[in-house]
Structure 1
Amino acid sequence: MWEEKLKVYDALVSKCNRFKRKGKTMPYTSANGYMFSLFNKDCEIGIRFSKETQEKYIKEFKSSIYKSYGAVMKGYVLIPDFMLENLDNVAIYLNESYDYVMSLEPK
């Protein structure tokens, strides 16, 4: 299951040409000193947004906050499995997340 879902995450990230997937045991994307997507041990994908956007997307996606290793990930939205059937659409959100972290003060 983990390997199959990791392939989905990798396929999603490969649709975005401004950044690459990082991490071996905990796959993620980062830019400007901030992580902005994460694939956790529970085979869940989370994408980071501003607080306002996070609240909007949790409602819109009928989703929830994203947790990794039991910790609530600030600003992250859990991407529901049904959304992964259209990776082109999810890639739009991933690119939006990249733009968001690039707008922050660099770490």
Structure 2
Amino acid sequence: MTREEVIQILDEVVAKNPNFERKGKTMPYTSANGHMFSQVNKAGELGIRLSKTDTEDFDANYGANPFLSYGATMREYVLIPQNLLQDKDLIGTWLQKGYEHVMSLPPK
């Protein structure tokens, strides 16, 4: 799947939820409460920031591989596997969990 296709998937998922707004021209991301909770990296991979509990749930169901951006491992992020990218409803569910996680953090 190309980077542009992953960005299009993120855009479609974001458009369905009024809590989300896609930001960033070259590095698409979502943020709330001053905290980023999803990003498409240069490699065309989607990462979602989750709470520890949600990361454990994600790992149990899909395997939680680290998400890298600019060569650094993004703490609290899981890499969305390629085989899940077509399931926009599932991505929307996990993106909502990411949103709820950052909304529970102190605002920046």
Query: If the length of structure 1 is used for normalisation, what is the TM-score?
Result: 0.91
1:105 Cα offset (Å): 0.7
**Which portions of structure 1, spanning 4 or more consecutive aligned residues, are displaced by more than 3 angstroms?**
none
1:58 Cα offset (Å): 2.5
- Residues 19 and 35 from structure 1, CA distance in 2 versus in 1: closer, same or farther, beyond 3 angstroms? same
1:51 Cα offset (Å): 2.6
- Residues 67 and 59 from structure 1, CA distance in 2 versus in 1: closer, same or farther, beyond 3 angstroms? farther
1:62 Cα offset (Å): 2.2
Is 1:66–1:73's contact at 8 Å kept on the other side of the alignment? yes
Structural RMSD (CA): 1.3
Matched residues in 1 for 2:24 and 2:87: separation?
24
Matched residues in 2 for 1:30 and 1:13: separation?
11
Aligned to 2:75: 74
Aligned to 2:39: 38
- Which residues of structure 2 form unaligned runs of 5+? none
Percent sequence identity is: 48
Q: Secondary structure at the match of 2:107?
A: coil
Is 2:3–2:45's contact at 8 Å kept on the other side of the alignment? no
- Which residues of structure 1 form unaligned runs of 5+? none
Output aligned runs, 1:1-107, within 5 Å. 1-107=2-108
Query: If the length of structure 2 is used for normalisation, what is the TM-score?
Result: 0.90
